[in-house]
Amino acid sequence: MSQSKLKHIPDRYQAGFTLIEVLVAVGLIVLLAGLLLATMRGVLGNAKESSTRVTLKKIQEILEQRATEFNIAESNAPASRRQEPCLPVDADSGLKSIVERKRKFREAFPQRYQDLYDAFGNRTRLGQVFDVKYLSKAPSGVDETNLDSAELLYLVVNEGTAHGSEATDSDQFGAQEVTDTDGDSFPEFVDAWGQPLRFYRWPTRLIRPGTPATPATPLSLDSTKASLPAVETEYWLMLGSKTGDINTLSRDQEDPTSAIYRMMGADVASIQSVEFDSTPPDTCSFHTPDTYTAFLVLSGGPDLQIGLYEPDDTANFGHLAQPKVALSDLGNNDDTLSDDITNLQGID
Q: Which positions lie near Ca ion, rule CB under 5 A?
A: 146, 148, 180, 182, 184, 186, 188, 300-301, 303, 305, 336, 339-340
Considering the complex, state which of residue 144 and residue 290 has its C-beta at the smaller distance from Ca ion. Answer: 144
Dihedral angle at the C-alpha atoms of 298, 241, 211, 119, nearest 10 degrees? -60
3 CB-side CA count, 13 A:
0
Minimum CB distance to Ca ion, residue 238 (Å): 11
Considering the complex, state which of residue 215 and residue 300 has its C-beta at the smaller distance from Ca ion. Answer: 300
Strand, helix or coil at 200?
strand
Task: Name beta bridge partners: 297.
Answer: 199
Considering the complex, state which of residue 100 and residue 340 has its C-beta at the smaller distance from Ca ion. Answer: 340
Contact between 288 and 204 under an 8 Å Cβ cutoff? The reply is yes
| Dist. CA 130–CA 178, nearest whole Å | 17
Query: Which stretches within 119-223 are classed as H helix?
Result: 125-133, 149-159, 204-207
Considering the complex, state which of residue 95 and residue 192 has its C-beta at the smaller distance from Ca ion. Answer: 192
Minimum CB distance to Ca ion, residue 203 (Å): 16
* Closest among 174, 225, 135 to 55, alpha carbons compared: 174
Minimum CB distance to Ca ion, residue 193 (Å): 10
Q: Is 16 left (phi over 0), alpha (psi -120 to 50) or beta?
A: left
Strand, helix or coil at 66?
helix
| Dist. CA 119–CA 98, nearest whole Å | 15
Considering the complex, state which of residue 4 and residue 136 has its C-beta at the smaller distance from Ca ion. Answer: 136
| Dist. CA 49–CA 255, nearest whole Å | 36
Minimum CB distance to Ca ion, residue 337 (Å): 6
Minimum CB distance to Ca ion, residue 202 (Å): 21
Minimum CB distance to Ca ion, residue 310 (Å): 12
Considering the complex, state which of residue 151 and residue 232 has its C-beta at the smaller distance from Ca ion. Answer: 151
Helices then strands, each counted (H, E), the chain: 11, 5
Contact between 60 and 346 under an 8 Å Cβ cutoff? The reply is no
Minimum CB distance to Ca ion, residue 303 (Å): 4
Minimum CB distance to Ca ion, residue 187 (Å): 6
DSSP 217-254: S-GGG-TT-TTSPPP-HHHHHHHS-S---HHHHT--TT
Considering the complex, state which of residue 78 and residue 183 has its C-beta at the smaller distance from Ca ion. Answer: 183
Considering the complex, state which of residue 95 and residue 341 has its C-beta at the smaller distance from Ca ion. Answer: 341
Contact between 243 and 237 under an 8 Å Cβ cutoff? The reply is no
